[in-house]
């Protein structure tokens, strides 16, 4: 048989695929337990807005038609909400698509892509798939060290990924620091600010008063791309829809590598409707802030340290190798996220759930720790 490995693109040969969390049904079967709660993928425990579901159900009637390849209705709503021009917007099958387009439109095997230690796992995968060199800059207090990142820029640096806040650490960069970094970038470097958790981080009760809205800077810095998603606070992870905001010329170039009809019609309809439900969003954000307090208070009473987070998740230092605790939690019916593959072998990342889910997780954690 052909050795397909030898046929694969060089970057793909050594690639390890992103490891998604296991679905609940599979684990229940494997472990013979029921009533599993999943606090592993930063999903919204309230689910989506009922308006989004109604819109998706209505769109189901027309699934025999191709979706609007330009996503006009959704883009028009985003344009008004964000105060940007239509030409500055690009839609993705999840915001992962936006990250992918940025790499495919701008990065060649001769280039370097930079990101921080402990950064989102999709950045190294996309970089390697493009055959480019990944420059991983050591973190500072679990977060981005922008001074070190600035020093690591070379002639070959083409794209820098910055997740604000970062997943899985939850760390965030204040406005002044991040804007100074972007303003100081050489003209040959693009920066993608990944704001998958923007709505959570900018909610006042999360306490990040100088957390920035990078979309406000797009008009000033033509080499800035901002990515956001409907997967997290809007509860539409399964439909796959996100967007990018950038300079019209950058959007045009990314649009050239975008597969036609990359966002399906149910996703387009649901996302547009979700934007109308500010009440559901407020409920989501308030629930999250309260859940964060509940979890961090629980960690303190277990004498565990956590990394302060402004997302809908928090990484806790278990004080030992976390893998056996992850397994023990599974047997208690609680799925969290091990983050050893992010260089954090002693941490577990847990998504903020409903109050009763948070309580069940804390009780299970105390039990598996033997407290």
Question: Is 194 an interacting residue with respect to ligand PLP (CB under 6 A)?
Answer: yes
Q: How far is the CB of 232 from ligand PLP (least distance, A)?
A: 6
Q: How far is the CB of 3 from ligand PLP (least distance, A)?
A: 33
The crossing angle, in degrees rounded to 10, of helices 95-106 and 248-257 is: 90
Rounded CA gap, 355 and 371, in Å?
A: 21
Rounded CA gap, 126 and 160, in Å?
A: 12
Residue position matching structure tokens 């209505």? 58
* Beta pairing partners, 313: 351
Q: How far is the CB of 8 from ligand PLP (least distance, A)?
A: 24
Q: How far is the CB of 88 from ligand PLP (least distance, A)?
A: 19
Rounded CA gap, 53 and 104, in Å?
A: 33
- In the list 71, 94, 308, 353, the residue contacting ligand PLP (rule: CB under 6 A) is 94
Q: How far is the CB of 313 from ligand PLP (least distance, A)?
A: 8
Closer by beta carbon to ligand PLP, 44 or else 88: 44
Closer by beta carbon to ligand PLP, 228 or else 247: 228
Peptide bond into 37 cis (omega under 30): no
Q: How far is the CB of 114 from ligand PLP (least distance, A)?
A: 16
Question: Is 284 an interacting residue with respect to ligand PLP (CB under 6 A)?
Answer: no
For ligand PLP (CB under 6 A), the number of binding residues is 14
Contacts of 232 (CB under 8 A, 6+ apart): 42, 43, 44, 196, 197, 199, 200, 312
Question: Is 157 an interacting residue with respect to ligand PLP (CB under 6 A)?
Answer: no
* Beta pairing partners, 163: 194
Closer by beta carbon to ligand PLP, 231 or else 288: 231
Question: Is 229 an interacting residue with respect to ligand PLP (CB under 6 A)?
Answer: yes
- Find the residue with minimal CB distance to ligand PLP: 94
Q: Which stretch binds ligand PLP (CB under 6 A): 83-91, 92-100, 210-218, 278-286?
A: 92-100
Considering only residues 239-268, where is the footprint of ligand PLP by CB under 6 A? 242
Burial of 34 (0-12, 13-18, 19+ CB in 10 A): exposed
Q: How far is the CB of 315 from ligand PLP (least distance, A)?
A: 12
Q: Which stretch binds ligand PLP (CB under 6 A): 43-51, 93-101, 273-281, 314-322?
A: 93-101
Chain centroid to CA 339: how far? 15
Please give the backbone phi and psi of residue 215, each rounded to the nearest 5 degrees, phi first: -65, -30
The crossing angle, in degrees rounded to 10, of helices 24-31 and 323-331 is: 80
Burial of 126 (0-12, 13-18, 19+ CB in 10 A): buried
Question: Is 163 an interacting residue with respect to ligand PLP (CB under 6 A)?
Answer: yes
Question: Is 96 an interacting residue with respect to ligand PLP (CB under 6 A)?
Answer: yes
Contact 194, 161 (CB under 8 A): yes
Closer by beta carbon to ligand PLP, 95 or else 315: 95
Question: Is 71 an interacting residue with respect to ligand PLP (CB under 6 A)?
Answer: no
Question: Is 116 an interacting residue with respect to ligand PLP (CB under 6 A)?
Answer: no
Peptide bond into 168 cis (omega under 30): yes
Please give the backbone phi and psi of residue 22, each rounded to the nearest 5 degrees, phi first: -75, 145
Beta sheet of 224-229, edge-to-edge order: 89-92, 242-245, 224-229, 190-194, 157-163, 112-116, 133-137
Q: How far is the CB of 57 from ligand PLP (least distance, A)?
A: 21
- In the list 115, 120, 181, 211, the residue contacting ligand PLP (rule: CB under 6 A) is 120
Interacting residues with ligand PLP (CB under 6 A): 42, 94-96, 120, 163, 167, 194, 196, 229, 231-232, 237, 242
């Amino acid at each position: 048989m052909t050795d397909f490995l030898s046929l694969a693109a060089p970057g793909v040969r050594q690639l390890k695929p992103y490891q998604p969390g296991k679905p609940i049904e599979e684990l229940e079967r494997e472990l013979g337990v029921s009533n599993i709660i999943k606090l592993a993928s930063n999903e919204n425990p309230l689910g989506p807005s009922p308006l989004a579901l109604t819109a998706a159900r209505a769109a189901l009637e027309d699934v025999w038609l191709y979706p609007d390849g330009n996503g006009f209705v959704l883009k028009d709503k985003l344009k008004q909400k964000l105060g940007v021009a239509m030409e500055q917007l690009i839609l993705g099958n999840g915001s992962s698509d936006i990250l992918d387009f940025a790499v495919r439109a701008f990065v060649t095997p001769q280039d370097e892509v930079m990101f921080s230690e402990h950064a989102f796992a999709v950045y190294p995968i996309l970089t390697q798939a493009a055959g480019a060199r990944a420059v991983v800059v050591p973190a500072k207090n679990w977060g981005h060290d922008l001074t070190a990142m600035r020093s690591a820029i070379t002639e070959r640096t083409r794209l820098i990924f910055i997740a604000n806040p970062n997943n899985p650490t939850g760390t965030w960069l204040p406005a002044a620091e991040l804007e100074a970094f972007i303003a100081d970038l050489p003209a040959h470097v693009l920066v993608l600010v990944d704001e998958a958790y923007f709505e959570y981080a900018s909610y006042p009760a999360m306490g990040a008063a100088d957390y920035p809205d990078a979309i406000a800077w797009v008009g000033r810095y033509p080499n800035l791309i901002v990515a956001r998603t409907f997967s997290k606070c809007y509860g539409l992870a399964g439909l796959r829809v996100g967007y990018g905001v950038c300079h019209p010329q950058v959007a045009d170039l990314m649009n050239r590598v975008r597969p036609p009809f990359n966002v399906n019609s149910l996703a387009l309809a649901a996302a547009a409707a979700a934007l109308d439900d500010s009440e559901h969003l407020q409920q989501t954000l308030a629930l999250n802030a309260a859940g964060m307090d509940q979890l961090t208070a629980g960690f303190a009473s277990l004498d565990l340290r956590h990394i302060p987070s402004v997302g809908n998740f928090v990484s806790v230092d278990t004080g030992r190798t976390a893998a056996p605790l992850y397994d023990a939690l599974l047997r208690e019916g609680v799925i969290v996220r091990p983050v050893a593959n992010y260089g954090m072998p002693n941490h577990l990342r847990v998504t903020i759930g409903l109050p009763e889910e948070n309580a069940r997780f804390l009780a299970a954690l105390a039990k598996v720790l033997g407290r």
